[in-house]
Amino acid sequence: MTLAADHTELIAPEPSRLVILRQVLLDRPSTMAAVALIGVFVLIATFAPLLAPYDPLAQSYIKINRVPSAEHWLGTDQFGRDVLSRMIFGSRNSLIIGVLAPLLAAIIGTTLGVVAGFFGGVVDRIISRLVDLLISFPELLLAIIIAAALGGGFWNIVIVLAAAFVPNFARVARAQTMAVRAEPFVEAAVASGVTTWRIILRHIVPNIAAPIVVLMTLWTASAIRLEASLSFLGLGTQAPQPSWGNIIRDGLNNLFGSPWPVIGAGLAITSVVLAFNLLGDTIRDVLDPETSS
């Protein structure tokens, strides 16, 4: 008799999650559309240099604030830069930050949450109070405070947004860890002398992964929205680098002459955020059926 053999028998056989995911995708056309849209934006971001008709930074003083034309589909901005090219290159910032920030937040937040939930006691109290403190600020406010202190720039925004998201991940991870920790298979592992870190990595983390992945998808949408907000406020992506947020900001200067930069970038943000939210909902339904409505 080996404990390991018993352990494997404790896990009930389930249909593969991939199979369920494929079924749900087929069942829900809205999710299909969302996935397709995200796919299109990923392609645009990947092949930006090939797709953009102009250099997104090249200025032209004779073509300031042009309305849309065959030459410039979304017109030009106050420096005579092609708005469409800026939007295409701006999608890179939005998507990369949108994925990186929640990923980083998930790694740090989950670590904190698991440590707090698993060890309890003083460690838990310190981490939990810290998380309570951070969570009492709305994400945007927290992001603005940190961005104002750190300044703009690509990596700073990733750090700012990750920091703003960490408390949410930590809280979920802690609650899940506490639930999983009470499961018999964890107790069995403890009783058989498996090291703490091995228990955490092999038994806890895989079992709390589902809600964390759901959170990541949902926060991707928020990260894109917050990056746009910060850039709009001048705290995010720094000029002259394009981002959807600062395209709207620049567009406001000439809102009366041509509203197309604002409308175009606004639509891009709305559709990507909507798509990630729809996808997030679906993934939640698949991975975490208990919490779905």
Q: Which residues form the interface with another protein (CB under 8 A)?
A: 57-59, 61, 64-65, 78-79, 151-152, 234, 238-240, 252-257
121: left (phi > 0), else alpha (psi -120 to 50), else beta? left
Sign of CA dihedral 43, 48, 49, 53: positive
Q: Give me the least distance between CB of 257 and another protein, in Å please.
A: 4
Q: Give me the least distance between CB of 93 and another protein, in Å please.
A: 16
Angle of helix 83-119 versus helix 29-46 axis, rounded to 10: 110
Q: What is the C-alpha end-to-end distance of the chain, expressed in Å?
A: 43
How many angstroms separate the CA atoms of 278 and 192, rounded?
43
Q: Give me the least distance between CB of 290 and another protein, in Å please.
A: 47
Q: Please give the structure tokens belonging to residue 80.
A: 């005579």
Give whichever of 49 and 206 is closer to another protein, judged by the CB atom.
49
Percentages helix, strand, coil for the chain (3-state, rounded to 5) are 75, 0, 25
Main-chain dihedrals φ then ψ at residue 163, nearest 5 degrees: -60, -35
Please name which of 293, 274, 252 lies closest in space to residue 31, comparing C-alpha atoms.
274
Give whichever of 253 and 291 is closer to another protein, judged by the CB atom.
253
Give whichever of 73 and 79 is closer to another protein, judged by the CB atom.
79
How many angstroms separate the CA atoms of 71 and 26, rounded?
40
Main-chain dihedrals φ then ψ at residue 82, nearest 5 degrees: -75, 120
Q: Give me the least distance between CB of 84 and another protein, in Å please.
A: 18
Q: Give me the least distance between CB of 236 and another protein, in Å please.
A: 12
CA atoms within 13 A on the CB side of 177: 24
Give whichever of 102 and 245 is closer to another protein, judged by the CB atom.
245
Give whichever of 94 and 231 is closer to another protein, judged by the CB atom.
231
Q: Give me the least distance between CB of 26 and another protein, in Å please.
A: 46
Q: Give me the least distance between CB of 255 and another protein, in Å please.
A: 7
Q: Please give the structure tokens belonging to residue 253.
A: 């200067």
Give whichever of 220 and 246 is closer to another protein, judged by the CB atom.
246
Give whichever of 30 and 60 is closer to another protein, judged by the CB atom.
60
Q: 189 with 201: CB under 8 angstroms? A: no
Q: Please give the structure tokens belonging to residue 292.
A: 């779905």
Q: Give me the least distance between CB of 149 and another protein, in Å please.
A: 12
Give whichever of 262 and 287 is closer to another protein, judged by the CB atom.
262
